[in-house]
Amino acid sequence: MWLNLAAMGSQGKDQKDWIKDRDEIAARLTSEQLAQAQERARAWVAAHPDQPTNSDVPKSIDMQSSGKAFLQVCSAADHVPPGWQTPGWQNPLSKSETAAVAQCVGYVEGVLGALQDPINFYCSSQGSPPRMLQILQTVLNYIRNNPDTAYLPPTPLVVTALRQAFPCDKK
């Protein structure tokens, strides 16, 4: 679902990359899973008519080029307040910030979706998987705290950040 939304909300090379990632993941899904993901994306768009369009997505930075670029685009997630999913919540972000956060969440979800076994890839100490925004913020904090790795592409940084933040107890 998130990769589909990221593809719909981007342009140019980024859109082509999101479509490629989305299609690669879609090829692994059953027809029922694919239909469900497409329906969720359509429902999300219908329920959020005021959300940003692809003209609102930042175009000047290729967030996939490095951790530093990823951090520049995705830092808008720092402005999402606690309780953002509660009824009546008003979005304090600009349209471009909202678009950036959605694009970054889609990227991270794509990384997780590409893993062979994402459920066993990292473990949550709370017993349930963390929410995507928490995962994104974990990755952003990892990049900030490890500037010597910020030149790397964001994919290995996502992997490393989650393994460190949510280690599995191997007995």
In a domain, 10, yes or no: yes
Query: Residues 51, 98: contact at Cβ < 8 Å?
Result: yes
In a domain, 68, yes or no: yes
In a domain, 170, yes or no: no
Domain count, the chain: 1
Taking the CA atoms of the chain, what radius of gyration do you get in angstroms? Answer: 16
Structural tokens at position 128: 């349930």
Distance CA 151, CA 68 (A): 6
The tokens 């429902």 sit on which residue?
Answer: 43
CA 5 to chain centre: 11
In a domain, 171, yes or no: no
Check the CA dihedral 144-73-166-150 and report its sign: negative
Distance CA 120, CA 25 (A): 18
User: 124: domain range?
Assistant: 2-165
Q: Tens of pLDDT along 38-87?
A: 777 767 666 766 655 555 555 566 778 889 989 888 888 887 776 655 55
Q: Tens of pLDDT along 48-59?
A: 666 555 555 555
In a domain, 49, yes or no: yes
